[in-house]
Chains A and B, each alone.
Chain A
Amino acid sequence: MIPAQFDYLAPTSLDEALAALAEHGDDAKIIAGGQSLLPVLRMRLNAPEMVIDLGKIESLRGIRDDGDHLVIGAMTTHATVASDSAVAEHAALISKAVEHLADSQIRHRGTFGGALAHADPAGDLGAPALALGAEFVIAGSGGTRTVAADDFFEDLFTTAIGEDEILTEVRIPKHTGWGAHYEKFVRVAHQWPIVAVAATVKADGGTIAEARVGLTNMGSTPLRARAVEQALVGQPATEDAVREAAGAAAEGTNPPSDLNGDADYRRHLATVLTRRAVLAAAGG
């Protein structure tokens, strides 16, 4: 299968890319690593007239320490994020989610920013980004703005990034010393999760001081399980206490029904996976 014809630009700076985007408007599509976009183009579910490739813009790659935050460049590959020691130390939840995202070949090409901008509700990065309170830095012709994770994911495949804007980096507040776990339920290897739960926990002895829980594929966007987070505060990190809190995981969700499972099944799965994820995160 071959994509429909398109014109192609590979700008070497962000300004050039923004200018090209402004010129071509909604006829243009940004390609980052292309691991989600190329299947879409090949199946001709989308046929942009212009494809603007960010692959030659070096400033969009890399991970840096910025005091209270880690900053991940939008074009940093999943493989780079997965093997980065600063991410493992300060945002372990991201490391855990990226480690088993898709497969090795896809992780070599796919990018952190590309996957988040694509905003597939079954994507593995939305829930951890939401749970950690990530901030999204978005550049446009008028300058740069920062959008909070709670406002970034708007709907199925839809984010706060405007038509003439580009996601340049993601700022992750450091959660140093927090335990983390990403519990993903799949039928076969390298499949999209049917449901997954991202949990990160600050434990004080055997007690949960704070917890953040994000849900993958439980609605049209990634979701925060705030009722669970609140119920966990001050609880012992025991099977019974966590099970009780995790019972609220599906509150306020609107999961899809498909061949992999109906909505009720997913609601049940969310409570089970939340218990497992929180216990694993609390255990270190």
Chain B
Amino acid sequence: MARIELTVDGAKVSDDVEPRMLLVQYLREKVGKTGTVIGCDTSNCGACTVHLDGQSVKSCNVLAVQADGGEVTTIEGLAQDGELHPMQAAFHECHALQCGFCTPGMIMQAVDLLKENPDPSEEEVRLGIEGNLCRCTGYHNIVKAVRTAAGSGGGAA
């Protein structure tokens, strides 16, 4: 077992974990952040995307021990004081989901994208979310939501 200490959605947590435990498992099973989902489990689909030290990562492809000392933001940490984050609001507004399984990761990646590029073109949005797969929407409304959020300051996490 290895001792890890990190911050998850603003709260300090510490645990003894097996070195082989994945960050996504840790978040879901130890911290209870089940808003972050496991999709493909092969680091392709991006459904498990969270922010680690301010950058998007696929949490199925990071060991919990690698996140020791770090700061994690999950989809559950985006809304502030009961107000949806602008990106969440834009996904709602633009109907950017159908089954919703890719949505937590898609939103986390979209927020990261706007931090690096606050006003992306349609093509830049599509490139920016290329690590996130959606099997329902054909991406059209997702791209629309990201550009809508860009107009309302959706890059701040």
Which of B56, B58, B63, B65 has the most chain A CB atoms inside 10 A of its CB? B63
**What's the Cα separation between A34 and B66 when bound, in Å?**
9
Q: Is the contact region of chain B dominated by helix, strand, or loop, or is it mixed?
A: mixed
What are the residues of chain B within 8 A of A51 when measuring CB–CB?
A: 19
**What's the Cα separation between A106 and B22 when bound, in Å?**
15
**Pairwise interchain contact A5-B20, C-beta atoms closer than 8 A:** yes
User: With an 8 A cutoff between CB atoms, is B35 at the interface?
Assistant: no
User: With an 8 A cutoff between CB atoms, is A108 at the interface?
Assistant: yes
**What's the Cα separation between A106 and B57 when bound, in Å?**
7
Stretch at the interface among A35-43, A116-124, A144-152, A195-203: A35-43
User: With an 8 A cutoff between CB atoms, is B136 at the interface?
Assistant: no
User: With an 8 A cutoff between CB atoms, is A189 at the interface?
Assistant: yes
Stretch at the interface among A6-14, A221-229, A266-274: A6-14
User: With an 8 A cutoff between CB atoms, is A79 at the interface?
Assistant: yes
**Pairwise interchain contact B57-A102, C-beta atoms closer than 8 A:** no
What are the residues of chain A within 8 A of B2 when measuring CB–CB?
A: 8
**Known contacts A108-B56, A109-B57: does B19 contact A39 (CB below 8 Å)?**
no
Render A1-24 as a binary contact track against B, CB cut-off 8 A, 1 for contact: 111111110100000000000000
**Known contacts A42-B41, A104-B130, A105-B109: does B20 contact A6 (CB below 8 Å)?**
yes
- Contact-residue size bin, chain B (C-beta under 8 Å from the other chain): 20 to 34
Find A10's partner among B44, B52, B65, B112 (CB 8 Å cutoff).
Answer: B65
**Pairwise interchain contact A104-B113, C-beta atoms closer than 8 A:** yes
What are the residues of chain B within 8 A of A31 when measuring CB–CB?
A: 63, 66
**Pairwise interchain contact A190-B57, C-beta atoms closer than 8 A:** no
A6–chain B nearest beta-carbon distance, Å: 6
**Pairwise interchain contact A103-B131, C-beta atoms closer than 8 A:** yes
Within 8 A of B (CB), among A54-90: 55, 79
Find B130's partner among A8, A35, A103, A109 (CB 8 Å cutoff).
Answer: A103
**Pairwise interchain contact B58-A106, C-beta atoms closer than 8 A:** yes
A30–chain B nearest beta-carbon distance, Å: 13
What are the residues of chain B within 8 A of A105 when measuring CB–CB?
A: 46, 49, 56-58, 61, 109, 131
**Known contacts A51-B19, A53-B66: does B56 contact A104 (CB below 8 Å)?**
yes
Render A174-212 as a binary contact track against B, CB cut-off 8 A, 1 for contact: 000000000000000110000000000000000000000
**Pairwise interchain contact A6-B61, C-beta atoms closer than 8 A:** no
Within 8 A of A (CB), among B106-139: 109, 112-113, 128, 130-131
**What's the Cα separation between A212 and B44 when bound, in Å?**
33
**What's the Cα separation between A131 and B25 when bound, in Å?**
41
**What's the Cα separation between A41 and B20 when bound, in Å?**
9
What are the residues of chain B within 8 A of A190 when measuring CB–CB?
A: 44, 130-131
**Pairwise interchain contact A38-B62, C-beta atoms closer than 8 A:** yes
What are the residues of chain B within 8 A of A53 when measuring CB–CB?
A: 63, 65-66
**Known contacts A34-B63, A39-B42, A39-B43: does B131 contact A2 (CB below 8 Å)?**
no
A276–chain B nearest beta-carbon distance, Å: 19
What are the residues of chain B within 8 A of A2 when measuring CB–CB?
A: 20-22, 25
**Pairwise interchain contact A104-B19, C-beta atoms closer than 8 A:** no
**Pairwise interchain contact A34-B61, C-beta atoms closer than 8 A:** yes
**Pairwise interchain contact A79-B65, C-beta atoms closer than 8 A:** no
Find A79's partner among B55, B62, B130 (CB 8 Å cutoff).
Answer: B55
B67–chain A nearest beta-carbon distance, Å: 10
User: With an 8 A cutoff between CB atoms, is B68 at the interface?
Assistant: yes
Q: B residues engaging A (CB < 8 A)? A: 2, 18-22, 25, 41-44, 46, 49, 52, 55-58, 61-63, 65-66, 68, 109, 112-113, 128, 130-131
A/B interface sample: 19 pairs, CB < 8 A: A2-B21, A3-B20, A4-B20, A7-B19, A10-B68, A31-B63, A34-B66, A35-B43, A35-B61, A38-B61, A39-B43, A41-B20, A42-B22, A42-B41, A103-B131, A105-B131, A106-B43, A108-B52, A109-B57
Q: A residues engaging B (CB < 8 A)? A: 1-8, 10, 31, 34-35, 38-39, 41-43, 51, 53, 55, 79, 102-106, 108-109, 189-190
